[in-house]
Structure 1
Amino acid sequence: MGGNLHSLELVLMLLLAFVASIAGVARRWQKPYPIVLVIGGLLLSFIPHLPAIPLNPEIVFLVFLPPLLYSSAWQTSWRDFRYNLTSIAMLAVGLVGFTVVGVAFVAARWLPAEFDWRAGILLGAVVSPTDAIAASAIAKKLGLPRRIVDVLEGESLLNDATGLLALEFGLDLMLSGSVPTVSEGLLRLLWLVVGGVGVGLLFGYLFTKLEHWIEDGPVEIALGLVVPYGAYLAAEEVKASGVLAVVACGLYLGQQAARIFSPQVRMQAYAVWDTLEFTLNGLVFVLIGLQLPTVMAGIKGYGVLELVRNGVILSVALILLRLIWVAPGTKVAYFVRRVVLKQQVPPPSLKSSFVVGWTGMRGVVALAAALSLPAEIPQKNLIVFLTFSVIFVTLVLQGLTLPKLIQVLGLSNSSGPDCEESEARKLVLEEAIAFLEEEKTRSHQEMVHVYDDVLHQYEHRLEAILECGSDDPEHAHSAHFREVSLGAIQVERQALIRLRDDGRIGDEVLRRIERELDLSEARRSTTL
């Protein structure tokens, strides 16, 4: 027992060190780290005598998926998610169904003879969900316009649920030969959605109520880590969608965080979740790459060239199916949003539609779904290999070609001020200045200079905000103000460290003042 635990600790330590090192290389190369980690894990799998590290699907669904989905949903803007829901649904629901049918046709026609239309439907259900982790990490890194990123992230948050529903139907078809009726399918989908969302909102609501009784940062963060697991398990227990429960809970609490958390807890929570998200993401993508020996060990009766050929056929088919769907799908979504919902959205361009079609990366959910198939399904091992091939091709091929594609199509985010952010900063500062001026008139004479000092700082910050679309050279002083401010903070920091090194202050005092300097530096780095 002790030896096994020691080996597990050693493997985990080496994997974490590998993730950190490869992610550092990815940052230096300016490549999205999921792609580099998958390639790194794949290369690592060729090392002789390396122990097999199988990817247990239960670990993926119960350990990795809930916190990663929760974190993505937490950071998703509910306003933008709701605004783009029609476009998201066309991909998360319509495209999943189109993919399942399309893959079934391709499998029955061009894949090995053991793939009939039923096995093709099962394969299509396995590979239909795109990856929330990959979509978010890659799309943001490549500088896609915010409106496209919002749709891609929303799609990847929801299509896990629709893909797993299709997988459920595919398994029924393969194991019992029964074909669910349309009414059965709709009722099942309705319960997955309503039940999952209801459980997620219930957990979110209970957590907000519990927050009012707790004023301890570590305790609140620990409870926050439990929430996604609780929502997922509770929804699965009532046969609803655990994925939607976690997403609904994350969206709800992401909206409530500004009210229920104190500033100190909020900063601690963001730091904890950033670290946890990076660690789990890194482990997931390295483990995907490490699965090649396990996948190949289960394949019998096929040559390498034949396997590669089948993997390429399915990967190309998936890419084409998505591209075929996106063009008319975006037009239908545009019609519904303009005519039915009365949203003032710009008409979809061919360029943006093509980029959305080219960003259908698959990831750990697809591989976990393939690995979770029952052993009595004769095509299981081949399905696992094909899924691995699709993940590798879509992540690496599409991920590495996206930067050039975005550049050629001219879709990268333009530099310059964010109009919405600038306006928000201006309004909140103006309200604060109005409050200070009003309080100043009511204060005692000896307090006037205090208000003047604070007002002077706020007025400097207000002047430093660049008007949207403005490149007036009069605003150049804001850059000089930031440079001078940051220089002064660095002098304070060096003096503080020198006092500690000379023994004139202790580490506790250093950390308190250092925290204030860190916050000041962060604010000046982001607001000016």
Structure 2
Amino acid sequence: MNGASFQSALETFLLLLLAVVVFAGIARKFKLPYPIMLVIAGLVLSLVPGIPRISLQPDLVFLIFLPPLLYSAGWVLSWREFRDNFARIVTLAVGLVSFTIFLLVFAAGKKILPGFDWQSAVLLGAVVAATDAIAATSIARRVGLPRQIVDILEAESLVNDGTGLLALQFGMMLLLSGRTPTVIEGVGRLFFLTGGGILIGLVFGAAVSVLERWIDDGPIEIAISIFVPYAVYLAADGMHTSGVMAVIACSMYMSRASPTYMSPPVRLQAAAVWDLLTFVLNGIVFILIGLQLPFVMAEIHSLRPGVLLLYGALFSSGIIVVRMLWIYGETYLIYGYRKWFKKLAIKAPEPRKLFVLGWGGMRGVLSLAAAVSLPFVRSNGEPFQQRSMIVYLAFCVIVATLVVQGLTMPWVIRVLNLSNSNVSDKEEQYARRTLLEEALAYLNRRRSSERYEAGTLRDLMSNYQRRLDAMPIERPESYATASSRSERQVLVLEVLKVERQALLRLRDEGHISDEVVRSIQRELDLSESHVYTGSLFSVDF
């Protein structure tokens, strides 16, 4: 890269960053999810004369943006919820993707998709079937979705990237080689992609976790955490397995193990760095989606704009309806089978929750990047004429699901009388009570020790008892004196260690989710940081 091109790339990045900051600030002002505002802003800016035209490069998405964003999404994915919702996640990530592709192939055969043969319909289905992990994580948590639905949407979007990319590989094989893979070949390829990717991710995660135990330096550990997703993704891709699954497996493993190898100060520093990194990358990704409108429209010359808009609206609506049909149909079929054939006493599905689950299937930049990565010619050397229409339809589905569904989701939740479940709140209160009881029990055991003054133990026990009696936790009174500060610091650090051990035990026993662990762990980390900075006496621990 020469100096001029580097300066141009830097200027483009700074312009994108400025746009992200401005429009994210506007979104915050109007209490909108910033990804939706950035997509709309990109669409508007793309129509302004003189605005630089920034085309979306597939390699930029797959190699630069995707690994850290997947890593960040996998880090906050709760293993307990993933395990409990595994059956539902598989039916969405595998079943729904396959069902969508099948229906599009059927539509092509019945001439419902003009100009599409079955091979190009497979590629279209592979591009638009899978929901997007970046979109789900960025939007689902910000629109008041019930906790269980958020967990399912996030896990589905992470897992079905693997199935969507597998379908894309098969579609490319059909297009470029003219050969149709067998069922055995397809199943084997699926297991190799997913299984190989997961294995590579777990090996990387275990190796880095061991390495991290020998390092206790914030900048070094944060640098390693940024290096890991790229290394895992490239390693898996180099071995022709799923880089997506490798990054997800690695991040989930390391997130689970992080309390044992990452010190509280490093954890706080890393959280701040990753919050900033994911915000910037997410913001650039979503504004880039909107900026692609001129490139998308420029590829299609045979249809009038009005016809194109109608075609895009009908196709996007059809994809949304297909998801709804699958979710309702699959759910009630399984319910009927278990109730009438297995004679199980199970709770009937809630149609309103199923509707929200269907309405939350958002697509994102991965669909557009996959579409743009399609070749221009077929195996016989003829132009791949459907490519431009696939890119356009993918763009329409992304805008419809991100903007239309994203903006209407809060209204849908209110109309259906759904809100965030208080399960997490109850689990958090249970965890807090357990930690306080463990701390009091530890202090009681130390009463007989001659290491601490009786006044120190009495003050700390009184403090913890007040907090326990005042659940939910209230801010405790400040300590009376600082005459034995170092002694108090040592004792508080010991008690915080007891609380951490109790917190991880509750997680490992399945009583609380990983989200609750992260919430309370952050408070414990902040408390410990105040011990070291000397502000222990004015901060709740």
**TM-score, with structure 1 as normaliser:** 0.86
Cα distance in 2, alignment partners of residues 454 and 342 from structure 1: 55
2:463 to 453, 457, 460: 457
Aligned to 1:440: 447
1:372 aligns with 2:373: yes
- Maintained 8 Å contact 2:24/2:34: yes
> Per-residue deviation at 1:341?
13
Aligned to 1:149: 150
Cα distance in 1, alignment partners of residues 136 and 172 from structure 2: 27
> Per-residue deviation at 1:3?
2.6
**TM-score, with structure 2 as normaliser:** 0.84
Q: Deviations over 1:188-207 (max 9, x none)?
A: 00101110100000100110
Aligned to 2:490: none
SS of aligned partner of 2:141: helix
> Per-residue deviation at 1:517?
9.0
Aligned to 2:392: 385
2:416 to 400, 409, 419: 409
Cα distance in 2, alignment partners of residues 337 and 63 from structure 1: 45
> Per-residue deviation at 1:279?
0.7
1:163 aligns with 2:169: no
With over 3 angstroms needed to count, the CA separation of the structure-2 counterparts of 1:342 and 1:47, relative to structure 1, is farther
Cα distance in 2, alignment partners of residues 344 and 184 from structure 1: 40
With over 3 angstroms needed to count, the CA separation of the structure-2 counterparts of 1:138 and 1:184, relative to structure 1, is same
Equivalent pairs: percent with the same residue? 48
Cα distance in 2, alignment partners of residues 418 and 309 from structure 1: 45
Cα distance in 1, alignment partners of residues 104 and 440 from structure 2: 61
Q: Deviations over 1:172-221 (max 9, x none)?
A: 22222222111010000010111010000010011011112212111111
The 5-angstrom pairing of residues 77-226 of structure 1 reads 77-109=78-110, 113-226=114-227
> Which AA in structure 1 matches 2:309?
V
> Per-residue deviation at 1:456?
2.1
Aligned to 1:302: 303
Structure 1 stretch displaced more, 295-304 or 245-254 = 295-304
Cα distance in 1, alignment partners of residues 536 and 400 from structure 2: 43
SS of aligned partner of 1:257: helix
Number of equivalenced pairs: 484
Q: Deviations over 1:372-430 (max 9, x none)?
A: 00121221112111111111111111111111111111111267981111111101110
Cα distance in 2, alignment partners of residues 20 and 462 from structure 1: 42
Cα distance in 2, alignment partners of residues 261 and 234 from structure 1: 24
SS of aligned partner of 2:267: helix
> Per-residue deviation at 1:443?
2.4
With over 3 angstroms needed to count, the CA separation of the structure-2 counterparts of 1:217 and 1:26, relative to structure 1, is same
- Maintained 8 Å contact 1:111/1:310: no
> Per-residue deviation at 1:343?
12
Q: Deviations over 1:144-164 (max 9, x none)?
A: 111111111110000111001
- Maintained 8 Å contact 1:200/1:245: yes
- Maintained 8 Å contact 1:66/1:229: yes
> Per-residue deviation at 1:83?
1.1
Q: Deviations over 1:448-485 (max 9, x none)?
A: 1111122222222212323xxxxxxxxxxx66x57x88
Q: Which runs of 5+ in 2 are unaligned?
A: 378-383, 479-528
RMSD: 2.7
Aligned to 2:425: 418
Structure 1 stretch displaced more, 325-334 or 404-413 = 325-334
> Which AA in structure 2 matches 1:23?
A
SS of aligned partner of 1:418: helix
SS of aligned partner of 1:44: helix
With over 3 angstroms needed to count, the CA separation of the structure-2 counterparts of 1:348 and 1:10, relative to structure 1, is same
With over 3 angstroms needed to count, the CA separation of the structure-2 counterparts of 1:249 and 1:451, relative to structure 1, is same
Aligned to 2:282: 281
> Per-residue deviation at 1:105?
2.9
- Maintained 8 Å contact 1:70/1:246: yes
Q: Deviations over 1:25-51 (max 9, x none)?
A: 112211111111100011111111222
With over 3 angstroms needed to count, the CA separation of the structure-2 counterparts of 1:336 and 1:220, relative to structure 1, is farther
Aligned to 1:16: 17
> Per-residue deviation at 1:112?
5.8
With over 3 angstroms needed to count, the CA separation of the structure-2 counterparts of 1:518 and 1:2, relative to structure 1, is farther
Q: Which runs of 5+ in 1 are unaligned?
A: 467-477, 486-511
SS of aligned partner of 1:255: helix
> Which AA in structure 1 matches 2:465?
E
- Maintained 8 Å contact 2:107/2:113: no
SS of aligned partner of 1:287: helix
